[in-house]
Amino acid sequence: MCGRLDYFLNAFATLRTDGSRKNWTGLTYHRSPYKPFLLLAVLDFIESGIIARNFIEPSFELAQSFQNYCALILPPDRKASMSYPFYHLESAAFWELKPQPGLQHQRGLAISVKRLRQLYLGAQFSEDLFPLLQMPSSREKLRTVLIDTYFAAEIRPTIREYSILNCQSTLYSTSLLTTQELLPAFGLTNNPSAHVDLARVRDQGFRKAVVKLYDHRCSLCGIKMLTPEGHTIVDAAHIKPWSLCHNDHPTNGIALCKLCHWSYDKGLMSIDQNYHVMISPAVKNDPNLPGHMLTLLDRPMFRPSESRYWPDLDNLAWHRREKFSKR
């Protein structure tokens, strides 16, 4: 087992990456970080239980995690696509692409995420690597070699902190979706050795749970907009602020697009006791131009498929009483 681990440690440390100094800064030793970031995202998914068998799907969630890693070091205007490392990791002996039925692997493609999903079901690790990735000790060694080999010392703590945050928030999200208790933080404890902010774990875990339940759809206007690269138009909002109730249960949350989120926070929108959308008369005040917002009045809100996750009526009543503008 140790011999195989050493082999894969070397394989992870010798990935083929773009080494153009004009494209990459010293934070990545002037090399592309895309393959290391994708592998780090996959290791996080294995640790948190999202990937439980030897198959890596080019899912929206994986693309989103990859984007979050890239955002740690890339400028906001630098576009990154998971499709590049997912496809080109084929050059590593431990990564095998699995074409869609009836198709064959094609080499040398310039491929988008959309095209990647059309051509490939996903990828698999080599049979002797995946068991190592399921073992915490060997997985951590492989994670460490990725971080230490491809990233400068000053950025390594940030990357490691995000990895911990990614794993813990996913576990917290899972606990929120599987328990019926209304507690402030399911199974979370402050762990100084983890070097990660508990509030960030809670915030991201709540977001993951709520956005998943609402399938990336705004609960008030119904809009759903996803990009192949891993961006969604919706946020997760607490109905009653966490600062007042310390309640992260999904029944205290709704998914909202940017406009509805702002309008809800400002008391211009709310939800009645029958789960219908309320619009404040204030939206018609001069010089406002509410546009399509008025068409949402009295429409049923979009809710999770399971009624146990529907918004808590007491929390909705609190928002109508304390936040909604009635004139």
Q: In this predicted structure, what is the pLDDT of residue 52?
A: 96
C-alpha distances out from residue 59 to 19, 117, 170, 220, Å: 28, 9, 15, 26
Q: In this predicted structure, what is the pLDDT of residue 181?
A: 61
- Quickly count: other Cβ atoms within 10 Å of residue 93's Cβ: 11
Distance CA 90, CA 295 (A): 50
Distance CA 296, CA 68 (A): 33
Q: Which of 113, 125, 120 is nearest to 61 (CA)?
A: 113
Q: What is the mean pLDDT of each run of 10 residues along the chain (327 residues)?
A: 87 95 92 98 97 97 96 90 96 96 89 94 98 97 98 98 95 89 49 66 96 98 93 96 94 98 97 98 92 95 97 98 93
Fill in the amino acid letter for 285: N
Count Cβ atoms within 10 A of the Cβ of residue 275 and give its class: 0-12 exposed, 13-18 middle, 19 or more buried. middle
Q: Provide the residue ranges of all domains of the chain, joining segments of one domain with +.
A: 2-154, 206-322
- Quickly count: other Cβ atoms within 10 Å of residue 53's Cβ: 9
Q: Are 43 and 51 in contact (CB under 8 A)?
A: no
Q: In this predicted structure, what is the pLDDT of residue 109?
A: 84
Give me the helices (H) in 129-197, please: 130-134, 136-150, 156-178
Q: In this predicted structure, what is the pLDDT of residue 195?
A: 56
Fill in the amino acid letter for 117: R
Residue 224 β-bridge partners: 217
Q: Which helix (H) or strand (E) is 314 found in, with range?
A: helix 313-322
Q: Which residues contact 257 (CB under 8 A, 6 or more apart)?
A: 218, 220, 221, 223, 225, 233, 234, 235
Q: In this predicted structure, what is the pLDDT of residue 197?
A: 82
> Helix, strand or coil for residue 89?
helix
